[in-house]
Amino acid sequence: MNPILVVGSVALDTVKTPAGSIADGLGGSATYFSLAARYFSPVQLVAVVGEDFPRAHRNLLSERGVDCSGLKTAKGKTFRWSGKYGKDAGVAKTLATHLNVFKDFSPKLDAPHRKAPVVFLANIDPELQSEVLAQMTAPALVACDTMNYWIDSKPEALKELLAKVDVFFCNEEEAEKLTGAPNPLQAADVIASWGPSVVVVKKGEHGSLMRIGGTFYMFPCFPLPNIKDPTGAGDTFAGGFLGYLASCGSYDDVGHMKRAMAYGTVMASFNVEDFSTKNIEDLDRDRIDERFHDLLDRMSVPRAEDLLKARRPIPA
Amino acid sequence: MNPILVVGSVALDTVKTPAGSIADGLGGSATYFSLAARYFSPVQLVAVVGEDFPRAHRNLLSERGVDCSGLKTAKGKTFRWSGKYGKDAGVAKTLATHLNVFKDFSPKLDAPHRKAPVVFLANIDPELQSEVLAQMTAPALVACDTMNYWIDSKPEALKELLAKVDVFFCNEEEAEKLTGAPNPLQAADVIASWGPSVVVVKKGEHGSLMRIGGTFYMFPCFPLPNIKDPTGAGDTFAGGFLGYLASCGSYDDVGHMKRAMAYGTVMASFNVEDFSTKNIEDLDRDRIDERFHDLLDRMSVPRAEDLLKARRPIPA
């Protein structure tokens, strides 16, 4: 089993959506990622919380197999975010951000964590992401995420980071903002030219795309007529993707990568069905695989026999 | 071979996009549909043009095998539309609409056309669509399209039509406007309750979805980093879909329907690569099947051996 090191935020989120609301729910990029990835691979969590972080939340993570030895408690309060979603689940309106202890987050990795073969640098300051990466011994696969805030404030640091990254996750808006390209396809081409051999662009309810070696692979969303809370969808997607890929043990097989995209889609779809992390806390691999196959049934197009015969070689 | 009767508009379009412009180019819903569908099945075109309709355009259609015996010439000028697209290819800004001879369009079907097994009622007044349908002997498959204008002005006539329709094509915005539903999934459920057993919602660059018997099937778009002119994409989609389905000769096989969605996607992708109908005039089935298989390669997710073994029955 290949463990995944994730470095990012653990937070308390207050969220309001048309389906309801939650106050001080468990949140943060590293939290969502960990809870999704651990169904597939061991996860080592590196983050910081304040003295007010509920014991129950820490227990929730460790009881589910997440290695919390890197989850430090610092003097002060836990990072808090509050936001609101309207009819369009794709757009969060941030009401308040209190960085609290997260402001001074500067992770020093413990010896065992430095050796992790797979690392996910969740959405934090790109300079910090680079510092964490510099502490790693020799990761086989480096993945990262970012957000508009860093694209605006530290684009050069982000590009320096991307030169050292294998898999970059972003959403459509971020990809276009980062590159100035008019669509996610052209944006992914530009991003790939900076370093990442795999670029994943998430488009919310419109699915996602993956660029590998100049070829685009396209994925629809799992159809959900009602969603409760989109918070964390991107991080659970990354968790499903990297968790599955790490379990495969090889990182250059397009079949593995395609299934990783489908597992990312599936984990995100579970996540948005309830507030906070509620719906990804107590799944099991059977339920996950059931939805994985359900998704594949909905998106697969069987090639007809006579069409197979007529088939010509496809240019690479 | 099952012929398809299409009733709709043949027009002269003046279009400006960021990639260039064209004046009085061949256009109209029935034109795009016919040129796409005829690669798969015989097409009978019923429409009206004015005395100014260029001979070359009529020849273009008939030389490509489209039965133009129902393409009548009336006293006056041909229907003209002019529009403009900005950076967002999904949104056309209409600059001018001159209905001209199309204003008095009230098709009387010739005897051979009444017997067509498949009919596509392209975007015209829903009362006219119903009148055309009433002239048909016993079509095995009835499909239709519409547009915002009719949703606003004749919603009741449209609902009456839908009760008699098997396959309804619409785009995301139309589906939500017609039903008041907040997303295309809920909208498709409502539309299906009015009659159509198959509801196809097109989402432009974000792909499409198909609802059959309460199940949603999801399809991505073919990835094109540059498009020239999105005009007619919806009608070429419908042409690829129905042309392929008619060639299968049975209309209740989900595999056929899924391939029909993929062929619709492929034909629309060719269409948007050039202005007017230029890029769908001289394709051949080999080039179409090549892109069909290319699309399937990009969207297929191979089930791993061990996952197949782990697979449980999926609820219907």
The distance between the two most distant Cα atoms of chain A, rounded to a whole number of Å, is: 69
A29-37 and A254-271 helices, crossing angle to 10°: 120
What's the mean per-residue pLDDT of chain B? 95
* Paired tokens of B249: 């000769």
Closest Cα in chain B to A182: B87
Whether A216 sits inside 8 A of B298 (CB atoms) is: yes
> Rounded to a whole number, what is the distance in Å from the CA of A290 to chain B's nearest CA?
6
pLDDT of residue B165: 98
**Residue at A87: amino acid letter:** K
pLDDT of A82 reads 96
Average pLDDT over residues B161-175: 97
- Which residues, 6+ apart, have CB-to-CB distance to B38 below 8 Å? B64, B65, B66, B243
Please give the backbone phi and psi of residue B139, each rounded to the nearest 5 degrees, phi first: -65, 140
Per-residue pLDDT at A304: 83
- For the four alpha carbons of B57, B58, B63 and B64, in that order, the dihedral sign comes to positive
Nearest to B301 among A183, A186, A296 (CB): A296
Say if the Cβ atoms of B314 and A297 lie within 8 Å: yes
The per-residue pLDDT for A92 is 86
Evaluate whether A110 touches A228 at the Cβ level (below 8 Å).
no
| Side-chain half-sphere CA neighbours of B105 within 13 A | 30
B-chain residues near A222 (CB < 8 A): 218
Asked whether the predicted pLDDT for residue B115 surpasses 70, the reply is: yes
Query: B185: nearest CA in chain A?
Result: A225
- Buried (b) or exposed (e) across A25-40, using 16+ Cβ within 10 A? bbbbbbbbbbbbbbbb
Interface probe with A: pick from B191, B218, B248, most Cβ of A within 10 Å: B218
**Amino acid, res. B250:** S
For residue range B82-91, list pLDDT tens digits in order: 999 987 777 7
> Which residue among B203, B226, B298 places its CB closest to the CB of A218?
B298
Residue in B223, B225, B293 nearest the CB of A218? B223
Contact (CB, 8 A) for A116 and A1: no
Across the interface, do B185 and A225 touch by the CB < 8 Å criterion?
yes
Question: Tens-digit pLDDT profile for chain A (316 aa)?
Answer: 899 999 999 999 999 999 999 999 999 999 999 999 999 999 999 999 999 999 999 999 999 999 999 999 999 999 999 999 987 777 889 999 999 999 999 999 999 999 999 999 999 999 999 999 999 999 999 999 999 999 999 999 999 999 999 999 999 999 999 999 999 999 999 999 999 999 999 999 999 999 999 999 999 999 999 999 999 999 999 999 999 999 998 998 999 999 999 999 999 999 999 999 999 999 999 999 999 999 999 999 999 866 666 554 444 4
Contact A223 B221 (CB under 8 A): no
* ipTM (interface predicted TM): 0.93
CA distance, residue A224 to nearest chain B CA (Å): 8
- Decide if A175 contacts A188 (C-beta within 8 A): yes
Both tokens of A145, joined, read: 């995420």
Q: Are B310 and A290 inside 8 Å of each other by CB?
A: no
Q: What is the pLDDT of residue A166?
A: 98
Residue type, A40: F
Using the beta-carbon criterion (under 8 Å), do A303 and B310 form an inter-chain contact? Answer: no
Q: Do A255 and B216 touch (CB under 8 A)?
A: no
**pLDDT band (50, 70, 90) for residue B304:** confident
HSE (side-chain half, CA atoms, 13 Å) at A306: 5
Q: Is there a contact between A303 and B293 if contact means CB atoms under 8 Å apart?
A: yes
**What torsion, rounded to 10 degrees, do the Cα atoms B307, B308, B312, B314 define?**
110
Instruction: Tell if the CB–CB gap between B289 and A301 is shorter than 8 Å.
Output: no
Q: Do residues B30 and B128 make contact, with C-beta atoms less than 8 angstroms apart?
A: no
Interface with chain A: mutation pick from B301, B303, B311, highest number of A CBs within 10 Å: B301
CA gyration radius for chain B?
19
Three-state DSSP state, B113:
helix
Best of A216, A218, A284, A295 to mutate (most B CBs within 10 Å, chain B): A218
Q: Among B217, B258, B304, whose Cβ lies nearest the Cβ of A259?
A: B304
Q: CA dihedral defined by A189, A193, A195, A199, rounded to 10 degrees?
A: 0
Q: How far is the C-alpha of A156 from the C-alpha of B78, rounded, in Å?
A: 56
Q: Which long-range contacts (CB under 8 A, 24 or more apart) does A63-68 make?
A: A64/A35, A64/A38, A64/A281, A65/A38, A66/A34, A66/A35, A66/A38, A67/A3, A67/A42, A67/A43
In this complex, do B312 and A286 lie within 8 Å of one another by their Cβ atoms?
yes
β-pair partners for B202: B171, B208
Beta strands in B198-309, from DSSP E residues, in sequence order: 198-202, 208-212, 215-219
CB-CB under 8 Å, B255 with A216: no
Q: Which residues of A touch B17 (CB under 8 A)?
A: none
**Chain B residues within 8 A of A86 when measuring between CB atoms:** none
Contact call for residues A137 and A116 (beta carbons, < 8 A): no
Beta-ladder partners of B275:
none
Within 8 A of A205 by CB-CB distance, chain B residues are 183
Cβ neighbours of B90 (radius 10 Å): 15
Instruction: Decide if A217 and B292 are in contact by the 8 Å CB cutoff.
Output: no
Residue B183: which of A220, A225, A261 has the nearest Cβ? Answer: A225
* Measured distance CA(B293)–CA(B204) in Å, rounded: 20
Among residues B205, B140, B211, B215, the alpha carbon closest in space to that of B179 is found at: B211
Task: Answer whether B216 sits within 8 Å of A307, measured CB to CB.
Answer: no
CA B207, CA B222: separation in Å to the nearest integer? 8
